[in-house]
Structure 1
């Protein structure tokens, strides 16, 4: 699965750092159209996470993942066929649906394979994935130097081909044991307890809502920074993919070492305090980047990118642990699918939030960072109250021999 993560992210790195520029310069869309396209695609992808989680509780997760990878490949190839706005929105929405489903399926696989070591396993997987992002980002930066339409199209084609490769590689991966599927297929005549529904768990739903806000750093890298660089004129266009590379290099270097600070549920909850401070500082750096000339803008954008990356690393560790620790082991897929709504909803809300911050100026970025920082505090209290009543731990699982 680590090899699959590398291939997947190399392809995604080719496309993610230039997608906004592709739609701007190749498809000829305006800032408003790009923002709307990304927001609509993100909204359409919201269903991907719970759908993927539910399917993985009923069917082999690896086979579901193969189907999802093929869907992503189809959507990426389709983008090459048109510049019509409605079709671009439709194809991006299809790809977003597959992307969100693949994300939760990968996390669920790691949870089932690693058991109590899930945080370290996720950290290793994310390190490999971000190494792929960095390689793809460097290739994208080199392609941007050509400045041709063909270069952009080749980057998109590379992304589509990576999904096809991932589908083929996933066919060779062993299926991990699933407590949920074991219960569902058991021939034991004794009655079993009804499966727990995350949709009736108000505390977990509140936790997912707060995590949606904490995932907004993703929108900064995918939409906020590229749009700011493309339309302010005070920073070189080539800075956007380089900041994406910085993001991925930092994750590769720091994700595993920092993961040990959130290896337990209590430790993960304590990390919310420093995470709050990092988000606040990142907002200040973005606000400062809105003033001054090229050198000042580049300096503060780089600092902001580094701070948002640190926040991303800390939040990833926290989210991996809490999203699983607060869920019952008999409904892992369903609960993690609902938690996947946080990233899915962010992909819809995030572009609107960062474009609003850009339109408002320095005060907008200060409000952006402050809002996320305050949400960290609210989540800290919410999780503490849940754990005081007794956390729902996930039992140790092993890889299936079949």
Structure 2
């Protein structure tokens, strides 16, 4: 699965930074039209997480993953066929739906395959994904420097081909063991009643709090670049350098940090330092507007390092509890609901980040307090929940016993 992650994220890196420019340069859309298209298609994609999670508990995961990768590829390739706004919106929405659905099913596949080692696997997977995204981003930068319509189309084609390659690689993967759907009874075993995450108050509250903690993504990718330009004396070219710093820290530090959250109890304890890193990072962001260029660069670097640390700690905690709080027989449905946290953050996070930039330093301090309070609230929410037992494969039915004929010497006479 790591090779699949590398190929997938390389394709994502090709397209992520060029999508808006493709629609303006190649399709001829206005800036407002592009913003609406990306927002609406992203909103449609939100449905992909719970929908795929529900289906994943009922069908083989490898087949579902292949189908979803083909949906992503078709959505990308279809963009070549038209410049009509309505059709572009439809095709982008199909791609977004497939993207969010594939993300949840891939996570479920990893959880079933790795079992108790899921946190370490997630750390390695994030490292590989960051490498792939960086490779794709470098290739995209070269194409954007050319700036022609053909260069933009090559990035879209590369993205579509990456999905086809991922589908082909997935066909070579074995099917992980499905969790058991039986429970004990006085008469033997009976099918377990389906469990719904929509009735699990603890899991819904956890998902909502995780959406808040995921704001670090929008703060880094949207808030910091805008803050550098509009509120500090730091040079504009610092923004991409901080992005490189972020990727480098994740590549080299995510796996070593994962050992501190290898169990449910250990992951729970990480919520305390996570609260502290959020407070330090937002305090540094606020302070960066108060000094000259060197003071601003120093404060922004501190903010970037601590926010990246928060990102890595949150990744460990989120991965562990999204699985540990889910019952084995309904992991797909639960992870599908948890996928809404990322989807909600992608939709609302940029608005929160831009609002903080517009409001000034006090808004960053308020955001830091909110994030720290959410960490403590999540700590109280999960403190009484031990790790969910690992799912086991369905037991094979025992052969029916064959009754032996009674011996004549054991028959009693009336």
Q: Do the structures match in fold with TM over 0.5?
A: yes
In structure 2, the residue matched to 1:136 is: 136
Partner of 1:201: 200
1:249 CA drift (Å): 2.1
Equivalent pair of 2:179/2:392 in contact (CA under 8 Å): no
Change (3 A) 1:183 1:131: farther
1:263–1:332 distance in 2 versus 1, CA, 3 Å? same
Give the Cα–Cα distance (whole angstroms) in 1 for the partners of residues 193 and 64 of structure 2. Answer: 24
SS at match of 2:389: coil
Task: Show the counterpart of 2:314.
Answer: 315
Q: Determine the structure 2 residue equivalent to 1:272.
A: 271
Unpaired segments ≥5 residues, structure 2: 395-414
- Deviation of 1:392 after TM superposition, in Å, equals 3.1
Tell me the equivalent position of 2:406.
none
Alignment-derived partner of residue 54 in structure 1: 54
Partner of 2:41: 41
Cα deviations across residues 254-285 of structure 1 (Å, max 9, x unaligned)?
Answer: 11100000111111011111111212222233
Question: Is the alpha carbon distance of 1:65 and 1:202 closer, same or farther for their aligned partners in structure 2, counting shifts above 3 Å?
Answer: same
Classify 1:112/1:78 alpha carbon distance in 2 versus 1 (closer, same or farther; 3 Å). same
Deviates more, 1:151-160 or 1:369-378: 151-160
Farther off after superposition, 75-84 or 248-257: 75-84
Deviations 1:116-168 (A, max 9, x none): 11111221222211111121222233334444554444333322221111111
Residue 113 of structure 1: CA displacement?
Answer: 0.7
Q: Is the 8 A contact 1:14 1:140 kept in 2?
A: yes
TM-score of the aligned structures, taking structure 1 as reference length: 0.85
The 1-side partners of 2:297 and 2:155 are apart by 25
Compared with structure 1, are the counterparts of its residues 191 and 124 closer, same or farther at alpha carbon in structure 2 (3 Å cutoff)?
same
Q: Structure 1 residues 302, 76: closer, same or farther in 2, change over 3 A?
A: farther
- What's 2:160 paired with? 160
Which runs of 5 or more residues in structure 1 are unaligned? none
**What is the CA RMSD across the aligned residues, in angstroms?**
3.2
User: Residues 259 and 34 of structure 1: is their aligned pair in 2 closer, same or farther, counting only changes over 3 Å?
Assistant: farther
Look at both structures and tell me which one has the larger radius of gyration over its CA atoms: 2
3-state secondary structure, aligned to 2:191: coil
The alpha carbon displacement at 1:227 in A equals 5.6
SS state at 1:191 partner: strand
Q: What's the CA shift for 1:362? A: 3.0
- Indicate whether 1:370 and 2:369 are aligned: yes
User: For residues 238 and 18 of structure 2, what CA distance do their matches in structure 1 show?
Assistant: 11
Cα distance change, pair 165–73 in 1 and its aligned pair in 2 (3 A): same
Q: Distance in 2 between matches of 1:128 and 1:201?
A: 33
The answer to whether the Cα contact below 8 Å between 1:43 and 1:347 also exists between their aligned partners in 2 is: no
Report the TM-score when normalising by structure 2: 0.83
**Paired position in structure 1 for 2:176:** 176
Aligned in 2, Cα 1:320/1:362: closer, same or farther, shift over 3 Å?
same
1:207 deviates by 0.5
Corresponding position of 2:209: 210
Secondary structure of the residue aligned to 2:173 is coil
Higher mean C-alpha deviation, range 343-352 or range 314-323: 343-352
User: 8 Å contact 1:113–1:397 — kept in the other structure?
Assistant: no
Would the aligned equivalents of 2:177 and 2:392 in 1 still touch at CA under 8 Å? no
- Of structures 1 and 2, the one with the larger relative CO (CA 8 A, separation 6+) is 1
Q: Is the 8 A contact 1:114 1:397 kept in 2?
A: no
Cα deviation 1:44-70 (Å, max 9, x = unaligned):
222111111111111111111111111
How does 1:77-88 map onto structure 2 within 5 Å?
77-81=77-81, 86-88=86-88
Deviations along 1:188-223, whole A, 9 cap, x unmatched?
A: 995222022111110111001100111122223444
Partner of 1:393: 389
Using the TM superposition, name which of 298-307 and 114-123 deviates more: 298-307
Partner Cα distance (1:397, 1:215) in 2: 33
1:1-400 correspondence to structure 2 within 5 Å: 1-20=1-20, 22=22, 29-30=30-31, 36-81=36-81, 86-180=86-180, 190-225=189-224, 242-289=241-288, 300-384=299-383, 386-387=384-385, 390-395=386-391
How far apart, in 2, do the equivalents of 1:383 and 1:227 lie?
35
Deviation at residue 358 of structure 1 after TM alignment: 2.8
Give the drift of 1:33: 5.6
Name the SS of the counterpart of 1:179 in structure 2.
coil
- Please tell me whether the aligned partners of residues 329 and 391 of structure 2 are also in contact (alpha carbons under 8 angstroms): no
Shift of the 335–37 alpha-carbon distance from structure 1 to 2, 3 Å rule, reads same
Flag the 1:243–1:23 CA change in 2: closer, same or farther, 3 A: farther
